[in-house]
């Protein structure tokens, strides 16, 4: 039986709709009614049901906690049907990027390889083999981290029987075992272990690095070393060892592979530093000054680590400002950061790029698109990606240069969603919010992630505040915005900006009590944001003025405006705020 849209499983999981098919079942998006967040519900295919030990495996599933695994909430049985319930992971799977011709940098490959090995070590330490590692089962989050999905606890036993395989990515021994089970020969008794998962992981990396699909059949796969690859020979060596046809020649387990790549990374860092230290010293001189070199080497390492730590801390501050909606602070701090760290920032790979992108985001947040143009151009000089071209198209659209915006869209390759988003932003910049909203609703129907829902809500807010529409039309847009922001809150996906926008929509729709309740909650969530206390004071003041004069109490109004003033005065970067100044005049004129 197929779950229908709206059906509630186990009194907890409300089915939203089918979102895909996995190796062992159909995958649905559902709402966890208790946690009020989206989850994935997988219905196990009927021919797999017989191999499950439901209760024991539910306990194992729930006990797994790892950054690179989805959290499993339940493993439920309804009559003869079995479902697993776990986190909904935003982003695309690795197959999406491979199919769309993305090129993978050496840095990202090292990062994903280390993360993948860490999570495999964790699973293997818990007695679990994945046995179906392939690009479709490796999710890439918006933060560019991997999450390994579709592992099956039921296969964690001595026999590791398998019902099917991914022929391209399975290990040779897994392929032979599957054939043995299919044709009832002795190969069916082959034992599988951690090295099978290492092979499958390496097969994914083989395809990312070469563009060719791997093969578990001996002699059918061109060795990595024969390709003209622009990757470090150590990376090629590690992947090649994981891909050995004979499992005895592979790393013994994920821990051994991890140890090897970490040693490689340390050696590379040390060699880089030693080259800086030794320069063109002759070997004779080196012998004489060994002791001094050791001291100098240590000092360089310490100094470099100190610089990295300092820059990373400053980057975190800028990111935090942007996340909290303090765009002016993010912009000012980011610019000062570039000036203060000018001599060191380029010694750390990616640091200048990261901070420039944060400055661009702060300009967009302030809606200062002229400044944003200046910084996006600087950023594009050192880094090019579809995501940056998308931002550039948005920036030029909102600054009125639609021709330039459309030129940047042409640079977005193999990403229809970003192209559609860019076109939607151009419509919005021209004031055609209905077309922009329609495009984003289409995007959301295919990719129901919080960022797309957030954009629909934001566009409705802007549409609702147009000056050339009636109050009825305005309320229609704002009501939709409220509904979508409330949906984000239910899924616990809201940001500071979302909640502030929602409070504005509530106020405009004469829902002051809801606005006050939300802002009171925000004073706890964002105690350092003066605008929260300011808005709360303004709405409370308006609410008191609607009451009979003899019932008015401005005590909370004064308290919140004074709190806003106190926080504002302690800010390092600030510009004049007329709303705050006006409210200070108001409370000073109120009766004591």
In tens, the pLDDT along 81-121 reads: 888 888 899 899 999 999 999 999 999 999 999 999 999 99
Check whether 423 has a pLDDT greater than 50. Answer: yes
Check whether 283 has a pLDDT greater than 50. Answer: no
In a domain, 57, yes or no: yes
In a domain, 551, yes or no: no
Q: How confident is the model at residue 494 (pLDDT cuts 50, 70, 90)?
A: confident
Check whether 237 has a pLDDT greater than 70. Answer: yes
In a domain, 231, yes or no: yes
Check whether 162 has a pLDDT greater than 60. Answer: no
Q: How confident is the model at residue 559 (pLDDT cuts 50, 70, 90)?
A: very high
Q: By C-alpha distance, which of 351, 424, 355, 363 is closest to 390?
A: 424
C-alpha span between 115 and 210 (Å, rounded) = 21
In a domain, 242, yes or no: yes
- Total count of residues recorded for the chain: 592
155 and 66, same structural domain? no
Average pLDDT over residues 286-312: 55
Cβ neighbours of residue 305 under 8 Å, at least 6 residues apart?
none
Check whether 187 has a pLDDT greater than 50. Answer: yes
Average pLDDT over residues 294-312: 57
166 and 119, same structural domain? yes
In a domain, 443, yes or no: no
C-alpha span between 178 and 3 (Å, rounded) = 31
pLDDT value of residue 72: 84
C-alpha span between 589 and 457 (Å, rounded) = 38
Average pLDDT over residues 69-75: 85
Q: How confident is the model at residue 56 (pLDDT cuts 50, 70, 90)?
A: low
Of 344-353, 467-476, 520-529, which range is least confident? 344-353
Q: How confident is the model at residue 526 (pLDDT cuts 50, 70, 90)?
A: confident
pLDDT value of residue 158: 40
pLDDT value of residue 515: 93
Check whether 404 has a pLDDT greater than 80. Answer: yes
pLDDT value of residue 124: 87
Q: How confident is the model at residue 308 (pLDDT cuts 50, 70, 90)?
A: low
In a domain, 479, yes or no: no
In a domain, 3, yes or no: no
pLDDT value of residue 592: 66
Average pLDDT over residues 505-513: 92
Q: How confident is the model at residue 293 (pLDDT cuts 50, 70, 90)?
A: very low
pLDDT value of residue 462: 92
Measured over the CA atoms of residue 92, residue 97, residue 103 and residue 107, the dihedral's sign is: positive
Average pLDDT over residues 378-400: 88
pLDDT value of residue 153: 44
154: containing domain: 92-263
C-alpha span between 215 and 192 (Å, rounded) = 18
pLDDT value of residue 197: 94
Bigger pLDDT: 271 vs 532 = 532
117 and 46, same structural domain? no
123 and 68, same structural domain? no
Most confident of 17-26, 45-54, 280-289, 498-507: 498-507
C-alpha span between 138 and 140 (Å, rounded) = 7
C-alpha span between 300 and 287 (Å, rounded) = 20
Of 59-63, 321-325, 536-540, which range is least confident? 59-63
In a domain, 516, yes or no: no
Q: Percentages helix, strand, coil for the chain, rounded to the nearest 5? A: 60, 10, 30
Cβ neighbours of residue 77 under 8 Å, at least 6 residues apart?
54, 83
191 and 150, same structural domain? yes
Q: Which of 34, 61, 87 is the last residue of a domain?
A: 87
What share of the chain in percent tops pLDDT 70? 84
What does the radius of gyration of the chain's CA atoms come to, in whole angstroms?
28
Q: Average model confidence (pLDDT) for the chain? A: 83
214 and 75, same structural domain? no
Q: Which of 24, 55, 87 is the last residue of a domain?
A: 87
Check whether 384 has a pLDDT greater than 90. Answer: no
Check whether 49 has a pLDDT greater than 50. Answer: no
CATH of the domain at 131: 1.10.510.10
C-alpha span between 13 and 35 (Å, rounded) = 10
Q: How confident is the model at residue 396 (pLDDT cuts 50, 70, 90)?
A: very high
pLDDT value of residue 51: 47
pLDDT value of residue 436: 94
Q: Please count the structural domains in the chain.
A: 2
Average pLDDT over residues 292-309: 54
CB atoms within 10 A of CB 455: 22
Q: How confident is the model at residue 154 (pLDDT cuts 50, 70, 90)?
A: very low
Q: Which of 263, 287, 319 is the last residue of a domain?
A: 263
């Amino acid at each position: 039986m197929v779950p229908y849209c709206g059906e509630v499983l186990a009194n907890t999981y409300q089915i939203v709709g089918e979102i895909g098919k996995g190796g062992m079942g159909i995958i649905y998006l559902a709402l966890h009614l208790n946690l009020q967040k989206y989850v994935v519900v997988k219905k196990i295919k009927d021919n797999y049901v017989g191999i499950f030990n439901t209760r024991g495996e539910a306990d194992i599933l729930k006990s797994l906690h790892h950054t690179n695994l989805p959290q499993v909430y339940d493993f439920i049985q309804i009559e003869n049907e079995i479902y697993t319930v776990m986190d909904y992971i935003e982003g695309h799977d690795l197959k999406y990027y491979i199919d769309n011709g993305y090129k993978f940098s050496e840095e990202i490959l090292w990062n994903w390889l280390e993360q993948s090995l860490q999570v495999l070590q964790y699973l293997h330490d818990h007695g679990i083999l994945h046995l179906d590692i392939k690009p479709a089962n490796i999710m890439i989050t918006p933060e560019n981290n991997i999450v390994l999905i579709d592992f099956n606890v039921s296969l964690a036993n001595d026999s590791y029987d398998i019902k099917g395989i991914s022929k391209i990515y399975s290990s040779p021994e897994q392929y032979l075992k599957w054939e043995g089970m299919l044709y009832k020969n002795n190969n069916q008794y082959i034992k599988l272990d951690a090295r099978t998962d290492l092979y499958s992981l390496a097969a994914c990396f083989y395809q990312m690095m070469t563009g060719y699909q791997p093969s578990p059949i001996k002699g059918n796969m061109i060795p990595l070393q024969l390709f003209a690859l622009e990757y470090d020979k150590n990376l090629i060596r590690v992947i090649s060892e994981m891909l050995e046809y004979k499992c005895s020649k592979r790393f013994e387990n994920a821990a051994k592979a991890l140890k090897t790549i970490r040693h490689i990374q340390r050696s590379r860092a040390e060699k880089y530093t030693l080259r800086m230290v030794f320069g063109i010293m002759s070997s004779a001189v080196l012998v004489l000054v060994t002791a001094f070199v050791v001291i100098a080497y240590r000092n360089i390492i310490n100094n470099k680590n100190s610089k990295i730590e300092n820059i990373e801390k400053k980057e975190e501050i800028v990111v935090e400002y942007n996340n909290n909606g303090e765009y002016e602070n993010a912009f000012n701090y980011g610019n000062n950061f570039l000036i203060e760290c000018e001599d060191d920032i380029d010694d750390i790979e990616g640091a200048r790029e990261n901070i420039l992108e944060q400055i661009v985001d702060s300009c967009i947040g302030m809606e200062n698109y002229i400044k944003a143009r200046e910084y996006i151009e600087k950023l594009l000089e050192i880094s090019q990606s579809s995501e940056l071209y998308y931002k550039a198209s948005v920036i030029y659209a909102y600054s009125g240069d639609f021709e330039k915006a459309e030129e940047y869209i042409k640079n977005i390759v193999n990403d229809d969603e970003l192209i559609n988003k860019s076109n939607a932003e151009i419509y919005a910049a021209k004031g055609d919010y209905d077309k922009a909203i329609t495009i984003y609703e289409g995007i959301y129907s295919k990719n129901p992630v919080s960022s797309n829902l957030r954009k629909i809500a934001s566009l409705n807010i802007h549409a609702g505040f147009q000056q050339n529409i009636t109050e009825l039309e305005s309320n229609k847009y704002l009501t939709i915005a409220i509904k979508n922001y409330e949906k984000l809150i239910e899924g616990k996906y809201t940001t500071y900006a979302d909640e502030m926008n929602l409070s504005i929509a509530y106020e405009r729709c004469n829902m002051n009590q809801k606005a006050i309740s939300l802002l009171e909650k925000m004073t706890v969530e964002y105690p350092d944001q003066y605008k929260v206390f300011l808005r709360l004071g303004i709405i409370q003041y308006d609410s008191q003025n609607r009451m009979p004069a003899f019932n008015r109490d401005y005590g909370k109004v004064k308290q919140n405006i004074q709190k806003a003033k106190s926080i504002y005065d302690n800010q390092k970067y600030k510009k004049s705020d007329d709303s705050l100044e006006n409210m200070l005049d108001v409370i000073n004129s109120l009766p004591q």
